[in-house]
Structure 1
């Protein structure tokens, strides 16, 4: 298993158009996002990364939405996603579209998201799956330095393990894009349906929704440990 933290710089896309089938990928993830957003309530939504900034959260009732990225025309705050310049417990939902795929330290990125999320806050993230036609492309003796073949690619199960360790409850895990991204056309609709029904683990992309679960600071005491109160009784004269 490759280490999650690396030292070298990871070339990341500036927009969805930098990826093969970028417009199609954007539409697929926008559809999945629109299905989840109505459950989000609160005051602030944070989009992490340039790809997240291009996704719309207009169907959500949360009106204040902020974009943070290293560089992006849509970013309201320019900063490293691994070091978010926000105080603790102030964000109700974080969106990470392929942010882990292009992060030098995905553990630190998730820790920062957990830090800024409120109790019971949501995280929605997408990524490329190495156990897929896209992942197998790495082992073909052809040029593979371009996007998305040069991305990190972590398995959905590994990402869910990281989320569980940080105290998140995974609510949804959707799979899509049964293609190698070599051609300029997405897989036919019937092939997508066939893949979801019978080869779900081999999808090239995943979309995970999780919710932060914080244990109460004051534990519930066992009733046997509580001393009974002495009832005051009147004394007859």
Structure 2
């Protein structure tokens, strides 16, 4: 089995349009996430990565939804920044006040224009979900421990240099009963086969790792997550623009009888922490007499009567 760590960072997709079937993938993930997020309650929800930030969570009961994206995915000028959004983000609960993640993004991506330099690395960007955005790397989350109730990782692990480090950070900041939604590409599918074919080599799907769902679930279980549900979506190659709309009946039939051949999977997991219960000491009855002393007393009394 190949190591999950990459010596060289892969090409990172900044938008769903970087894939030929990107819009169809986005719609399928959004439909499943709308169902999953209705079960997640709390105060803070984080969409991790550029692809996750573009998934609208309109059915989520959590109102404070934050998107964390790398600087390479942000092309925001000072005119698109509102002073009220910046000031409200500075006082956002659960967000680290330090600008370590912003400095790391600045160091990694090189020069930053003066239009993007603000006192806080949290700002409001222009997207359909209109959620606050944080510039930072996925393996360095600027949140305090036990502060986030839910995470969405839309194919973030497939394009990560070290997916283990991302999951460890998610495990650090998630609450004891928090949820995480992870979508990924299935290698046991037509898309997994097309990845190794010499077609459209400029497509960023060739840089995706295509981890199996069993491997992702194994990583989650090692971190103390319980797998709640898994769904299979998108029965296509993903490398070509679909020319006809797949029938819902065919999609339902394939998901029911051939779920292993789907191009993508979506996992819903929940963090489980077993509380520690103090072990009470066992009650020990205090002995009323000593067996040795009783035996010697009977012997001495017997000798006296015999004499």
TM (norm. structure 2) is 0.70
Which has the greater radius of gyration? 2
Shift, 1:152, TM fit: 1.2
Q: For residues 55 and 146 of structure 1, what CA distance do their matches in structure 2 show?
A: 21
What is the match of residue 283 of structure 2?
A: 227
What is the match of residue 188 of structure 1?
A: 246
**Matched pairs, number:** 227
Deviations 1:152-203 (A, max 9, x none): 1100010000000000000011001111123311662243223212211111
Deviations 1:42-83 (A, max 9, x none): 110011001111111221221111111113344621111011
Question: Pairwise mapping of residues 1-237 of structure 1 onto structure 2 (< 5 A)?
Answer: 1-71=1-71, 72-73=73-74, 74=125, 76-185=133-242, 188-189=246-247, 190-216=249-275, 218-221=276-279, 225-227=281-283
Q: Is the 8 A contact 2:195 2:205 kept in 1?
A: no
Q: Is the 8 A contact 1:174 1:208 kept in 2?
A: yes
Q: Is the 8 A contact 2:21 2:239 kept in 1?
A: no
Q: For residues 141 and 99 of structure 1, what CA distance do their matches in structure 2 show?
A: 24
Q: Which runs of 5 or more residues in structure 2 are unaligned?
A: 75-124, 126-131, 287-307
* 4+ long deviations beyond 4 Å: none
Deviations 1:92-122 (A, max 9, x none): 0011000001000001101100111010100
Mean Cα deviation higher: 97-106 or 76-85 = 76-85
Q: Is the 8 A contact 2:35 2:59 kept in 1?
A: no
Q: Is the 8 A contact 1:177 1:187 kept in 2?
A: no
Q: Is the 8 A contact 2:5 2:163 kept in 1?
A: yes
Q: Which runs of 5 or more residues in structure 1 are unaligned?
A: 231-237
Q: For residues 184 and 115 of structure 1, what CA distance do their matches in structure 2 show?
A: 39
Q: Cα RMSD between the aligned structures?
A: 1.9
Q: For residues 16 and 229 of structure 1, what CA distance do their matches in structure 2 show?
A: 71
Q: Is the 8 A contact 2:205 2:239 kept in 1?
A: no
> Equivalent residue of 1:87, what SS?
coil
Q: Is the 8 A contact 1:4 1:105 kept in 2?
A: yes
Q: For residues 137 and 176 of structure 1, what CA distance do their matches in structure 2 show?
A: 17
> Equivalent residue of 1:24, what SS?
helix
TM (norm. structure 1) is 0.89
- Judging changes above 3 Å, is the alpha-carbon distance between structure 1 residues 194 and 147 closer, same or farther for their aligned structure 2 residues? farther
Mean Cα deviation higher: 19-28 or 86-95 = 19-28
